[in-house]
Amino acid sequence: MDRRKSLKAIAIGTFGTAALLDACKSEADKKVAANSSLAAGFTLDRQPEELAQYDKVISTTFFTPQELATITVLGDIIIPKDDVSGSASEAKVPAFIEFIVKDMPEHQTPMRGGLMWIDRHAFKKNGKNFKDCSKEQQIAIVDEIAYPNKAAKEVAQGVAFFSLMRNLTATGFYTSQIGVADVGYKGNQPNQWNGVPDEVMKQYGVAYTEKENKECVKYSEE
């Protein structure tokens, strides 16, 4: 079967599976899926309760505009734009963090408390909130809390907050399209297997049998 026919068979199989699964759904399941904002894209790999949870999460807003602005500034300090890829904000990391704290509420208090802390700390040092400080002032504050082993005890809350912020930023960035491209990940790629190389076989004193050689698939260099 050539590649085009294989793709066609996969497509037909996918559509057939979708029809079968849809036929097996209860009326209640179909109603939940139909009312979900994700219904068009996730009816096959999401359960009704997952769709309901997603809709619940995206229907509310947790961070204030001020907090999101601070998150954006911090994210771009952690992962700035460079010659290889865009910044954290370009990868929509603030929106990712907004989603995560609603989907995983245990992050809400540490994040909100940390944002309050960094604004208070910035105001004490510079007379303004963190996002309104100059770039140099922002970096100076981040340097105080970015290195746990060197940080003063007085900024322990800031250290804990920045560690969480850094983890969420990295997770959001490297699961985005920009981040995946940044690390050069291309997913599963087809390859060609011509058996164990001859030099390795000779090294261990083994060889393919005549039967194995006849049945082994050989690929041309074309």
pTM of the complete model beyond 0.75 = no
pLDDT of 17 strictly over 60: no
Q: How does pLDDT run across 135-144, given as a tens digit for each residue?
A: 999 999 999 9
18-22, 89-93, 118-122, 168-172: least confidently modelled range: 18-22
40-44, 170-174, 197-201: least confidently modelled range: 40-44
Which has more confidence, 1 or 189?
Answer: 189
Which has more confidence, 30 or 70?
Answer: 70
pLDDT of 213 strictly over 50: yes
Question: Which single residue is written with the structure tokens 């910044």?
Answer: 87
The distance from CA 61 to its chain's CA centroid, rounded to whole angstroms, is 20
76-85, 95-104, 205-214: least confidently modelled range: 205-214
Closest CA to 114 of 173, 151, 63: 63
How far is the C-alpha of 146 from the C-alpha of 1, rounded, in Å? 56
For residue 13, what pLDDT band results from cuts at 50, 70 and 90? very low
Q: Kindly state the tokens that stand for 102.
A: 């609603």
Q: What is the pLDDT of residue 77?
A: 96
Asked whether 176 and 197 are in contact (CB, 8 A), the reply is no
